[in-house]
Amino acid sequence: MRLCATVCVLLLVSASLGAGAYQRSEFLFLDEIKVGMTGIGKTIVAGDVVSEFAVEVLGVIDQPGTLSDFIVVRVSGEAIGRSGGIAQGMSGSPITIGGKLIGALSRAANWSKEITPIGLVTPIEPMLAVLDSARTLSMAPADGSVIEGVRLIERAFAPSAAEVAAAPDAIFSYPVSTPLLAAGLSGRSTSILMGGEDSIRRPSGTLVDFLPPQSMAPEVSGLSALGLDLLPLAGASAGTALAVPAVGASAAATLVAGGSLGVALVTGDISLGALGTVTYVDGPAVIGFGHPFISNGASVFPLTTASIVDTMKAFDASFKLGTLGQPIGVISEDRTAAIGGRIGGKASTIGLQLVVQNLDDGTHRTLHADVVDEPRLLPELLLASGFEAIDSVLDRVGAGTVEVTYQITGDGMPSPLERKDVFLSTTDIALYPPWQLADIVAYLQYNEFADPEITQISASMRITSELRAIRIESLVLDGFVYSPGDTIGFSLVLQTFQGERIVRTGEIVIPEDLMADEIVVRAYGGPRLLERGEEPQTLESLAEVIALIETIPTYETVTVEILAVDPYLSDGGEALYGVAKVKHDYPGYVVYDEREARALVLSSSTDSLPPG
């Protein structure tokens, strides 16, 4: 959400590349590609040593536009054989013919006419456009290079052999997926990271249920919905700090064509990022992948070094196993043809601190991380981090009560947001704090008034297996006929879970200007949904959004409220609206259930009770 930071990074990149440091003689463009040309590709298979593999041009797929054209190549050699074909993490591998760069290997493919592995190469023209330098270059294929009578079918996964055999006129392509490396995450934290709400259900009764509807916030679909794959083996290095090495020859030397680069999403006690291959380096500028990361457009992701341990053969898709290194710059472009960025500078991130204390045995953990400031990704990253922090301390999935305090600060926020909540579950207490946090942050980032420019997110959780609950058993009023301005006396009976019974008395005043003949007095725990006679609150600033989030009652609050009956809005159902309330807190306990009583209101001396 840091628009200013993004613009600044883009201006730096544009200023660096405006002069066009590279020469046309360094490249072969699509109009120069001929069938039968041979060349080499470069990638790392193991040990951070750049290996070469053989490439032969089979033809060009020419589709409408410039971003859907590909060069079809046959690949072979020891690097391909050792990798079991074109592996995840090879995307971005530079392909050269006669020492000239033609583009980046970006997709694996299957064609019934080819037994040996084939792949699709993203031409260099649109990749150079990511460096803001080649928008006017021709994308017309050379005469005779277009593969006639063949259609391209793009798939998310490799097709079956039967599908390929049944369509001899088709080339099936599928992405050389961007593999995600994760460390410090385990179990269900990785499931929700990739699968979102489909993996771990969103609990009902979190704050977002009681806030005015917000149409802009996206669903929490998981990173798999963005075309990303989590490697089955942990490879990223947890504990990586966001220190930035000095810019210069040493930093630039860490990225070479055919070498590896990383895009960090989380660093610290949890590490998460994507791995790919460098296609071209032009001074401080770099492009890679040959396809988008998450198609984010203008971006501010940490650009890191990466180290490859080995390339693992797998039946479904081989993959590179590696670790992310130190951040050395910023990925500022995430486009169809490539990702691009600049060595030097530091990407803006959000500091995350999660403190979990197990009150049953005294164990605790403080998790520190830096998370990318990207609203599309932040809910999943917060959920995965939250579940990891809680599960690692509790070492169980089950019932309990949690008290949690949230604090969120930002350069665009008029004041820090602070909120305390208490939740209870008889099945899985870990569900509530991460979802509540993710919902609050998403609501802030997608508010309609101002970018909060969040800089720090903190949550402190105190968890016990004890069910600290209070049930509202009954509500009794001191009368059944009142007048406007009267004081209603009430008595509440509360029952603690497997504990004592509490009787609480109090008073609530009927507004003097009330225009209603009947009222409902209701006692309930926590927040409540809007009644039919009430309109959603109108918010007019980020400050009001923050204030509303802070003041919505928590579940440790008992509210006794007068709800008036509006006869003019009754159309088959009763329309109520709140007119007065009193509250009382039971810290550390969840109050649940509700009870209500009805009464008549005599608005003048001429009013009388109905007969009977």
Helices first, then strands: H and E counts in the chain = 9, 30
pLDDT reported for residue 240: 43
State whether 14 and 153 are in the same domain: yes
Extract the tokens encoding 304: 């890191």
Give domain status of residue 611, yes or no: no
For residues 461 and 446, the answer to whether their CB atoms sit within 8 Å is no
Alpha helices in 199-332 (DSSP H): 249-252
pLDDT at 275: 85
Q: Where is 82: in which H helix or E strand?
A: helix 78-83
Whether residue 365 sits in one domain with residue 336: no
Q: Quick check: 441 and 433 in contact, CB under 8 A?
A: no
Q: Give the DSSP H/E element, type plus range, for residue 443.
A: helix 432-445
Q: Which of 347, 370, 401 is the last residue of a domain?
A: 347
Q: Does the pLDDT of residue 19 top 60, yes or no?
A: no
Of 289, 323, 347, the residue at which a domain comes to its end is 347
For residues 267 and 218, state if they share a domain: yes
Is the residue at 608 inside a domain?
Answer: no
Cβ-in-10-Å burial (0-12, 13-18, 19+) of 419 comes to buried
In a domain? residue 539? yes
Q: Give yes or no: residues 339 and 273 share one domain.
A: yes
How many residues are present in the chain?
A: 612
Phi first, then psi: give them for residue 106, nearest 5 degrees.
-130, -20
In whole angstroms, what is the distance from residue 349 CA to residue 456 CA?
9
Residue 378 maps to a domain:
yes
Could you tell me the CA-to-CA distances from 209 to 114, 213, 214, 527, 549 in Å, in that order?
55, 8, 11, 9, 12
Provide the pLDDT confidence category of residue 83 given band limits of 50, 70 and 90: confident
153 & 289 share domain: no
Model pLDDT, residue 136 = 33
Final residue in a domain of this structure, among 347, 362, 396: 347
Sheet with 501-509, side-by-side order of all strands:
501-509, 487-496, 469-477, 590-592
Residue 231 included in any domain = yes
* pLDDT, tens digit, 9 for 90 and up, residues 158-204: 666 677 676 777 776 555 557 788 888 888 899 999 999 888 888 99
Please indicate, yes or no, whether residues 266 and 360 belong to a single structural domain of this protein.
Answer: no
Residue 436: CB atoms within 10 Å: 23
Q: Are residues 147 and 8 in the same domain?
A: yes
| Helices assigned H by DSSP within 366-409 | 378-394
Do the domain assignments include residue 612? no
**610 is a domain residue:** no
The range of the structural domain enclosing residue 428 comes to 350-464
Distance, in Å, from the CA atom of 152 to the CA atom of 141, rounded to the nearest integer, reads: 16
Q: How confident is the model at residue 132 (pLDDT cuts 50, 70, 90)?
A: low
Residues 15, 54, single domain; the answer is: yes
Note the pLDDT tens digit of each residue in 501-514.
999 999 999 999 99
Quick one: pLDDT band at residue 243, thresholds 50, 70, 90? very low
pLDDT tier at 15 (50, 70, 90 boundaries)? very low
403 and 511 co-located in one domain: no
Query: Diameter of the chain by CA atoms?
Result: 103
Q: Residues 339, 6: contact at Cβ < 8 Å?
A: no
Residue appearing with tokens 């991380």:
369
153 and 185 part of one domain: no
Tokens standing for 90?
């090879």
Task: Over range 535-544, report the average pLDDT.
Answer: 92
Q: HSE on the CB side for 25, CA within 13 Å?
A: 0
Please report the DSSP string for 548-594 in residue order: HHHHSPPTTEEEEEEEEE-GGG-SSS--EEEEEEEEEE-TT-EEE-E
User: Residue 370, exposed/middle/buried by CB under 10 A (0-12, 13-18, 19+)?
Assistant: buried
More confident residue, 150 or 226: 226
Q: How many domains does the chain have?
A: 4
**If you average pLDDT over every residue of the chain, what do you get?**
84
Span between the terminal Cα atoms of the chain, in Å: 65
Instruction: List, in sequence order, every residue forming a beta bridge with 182; answer none if it has no partner.
Output: 272
* One domain, residues 409 and 315: no
pLDDT for 1 equals: 52
Residue 607 within a domain: no
The pTM assigned to this predicted structure is: 0.82
What distance in Å separates the CA atoms of residue 123 and residue 337, rounded to the nearest whole number? 8
- Give the E-state strand segments of 486-544 in sequence order: 487-496, 501-509, 518-525
The 10s digit of each residue's pLDDT in 324-356 is 888 899 999 999 889 999 998 889 999 999 999
- Are 90 and 188 found together in one domain? no
CA 121 from centroid of its chain's CA atoms: 30
Please give the average per-residue pLDDT across 62-81, as a whole number: 80
CATH number for the domain harbouring residue 32: 2.40.10.10
